[in-house]
Structure formats: structure tokens, C-alpha cells
Amino acid sequence: MTEIEETTKPATPPPVSAEETVAAPAAALFALLADPARHPEIDGGTNVAAPVDPAPICGVGDRFRMDLAHGVRVECVVHRFERDRVIAWEPGRLGEAPSGQLWTWELEPVSEESTRVRVTYDGTRIAPDQEKRLARAWALIEEKLVGSIRRLGAAADRTAR
């Protein structure tokens, strides 16, 4: 009889990242990411339904609220903000502890008109008792993040016209 090695799934999913080069300047892409009113375009309507606070994000500690497609309102807290380079936020339900999920967008200019975009979803701090949130985190795959990068590029193209 052969022993079967037992493997266990980690409690939280590892971070998921995707990157692509987009034909747009870093400043134009950052302006879209720092504008909550444009987030539904980048998300593609799969999660973000509508911004509640359309004012632009200006720095670390800023907060903005979003209505999600599944009927929940979240408040996002900005954790990183380096103009035209990096922006990161953590969503959480209003009045509750932070979600343990961090979305980070990194922009690296390749030329004056193109930018290497990297988006990372990190759900490693999701509490173990948050089963629905963990299930959604495990379902997030790189291809979905690539779609967000491509929608960001399309939004930049529409804005430039």
C-alpha cells in the first residue's frame, strides 16, 4: 500500500498579479486610477457598480466609497500614493474592520507614450471567519486582472480622444 501525502490548502490565497504594457502615459493612467468615478470602467462592472464619492484621491489616508454589484457599500482606504507611480487601497464594509484585501497598481513608464502596468490583489490578511470573502479571493485569477489592465488602457484611450 502506498502512502498518500496529505496536502492542505493555505488559509488565505497567495497574492495574484498581472502586468502588461499599455499604450498610454503613466500620468494619464494614474489620473484614472485616482478618480473613483472611473473605477467602474476599469472593473468592467463585475464588482464595482458605482462610485459614491467621485472626488479624486489625493494621498495616503484618503477614503472613498463604492457600491458593489452584489449590493454592498464599501469604504476604501488609500495605503500607498506615489503620483504617477503607485496607488493602493483596501476596501472594507462601512463600520466594520478592514477587509484584509489590498489592491495595488504600479506604473512604470516605458516611453513617453507607454507604461508597464502591474496590478496586484493581496488577500493574505483576510480573516479566516470571512468565508464568502475568502471564496471570492480564491476565485480571482490572473486573467481577470489582465482584463482590468486592458480596460484601464481603453479608458485612457477614450479620455485622450
Range of the domain at 99: 16-160
10 in any annotated domain:
no
pTM, two decimal places: 0.89
- pLDDT (tens digit, 9 = 90+) per residue, 115-143? 999 999 999 999 888 888 888 888 888 89
- pLDDT (tens digit, 9 = 90+) per residue, 25-65? 999 999 999 999 999 999 865 788 888 887 899 999 999 99
* Count: domains in the chain: 1
Instruction: Calculate what percentage of the chain has a pLDDT beyond 70.
Output: 93
Residue bearing cell 481577470: 144
Please name which of 111, 151, 159, 124 lies closest in space to residue 18, comparing C-alpha atoms. 151
Question: For residue 132, what is the domain's CATH number?
Answer: 3.30.530.20
Q: Is 19 helix (H, G, I), strand (E, B) or coil?
A: strand
Confidence band, pLDDT 50/70/90 cuts, at residue 147? very high
Phi and psi torsions of 96, nearest 5°: -115, 170
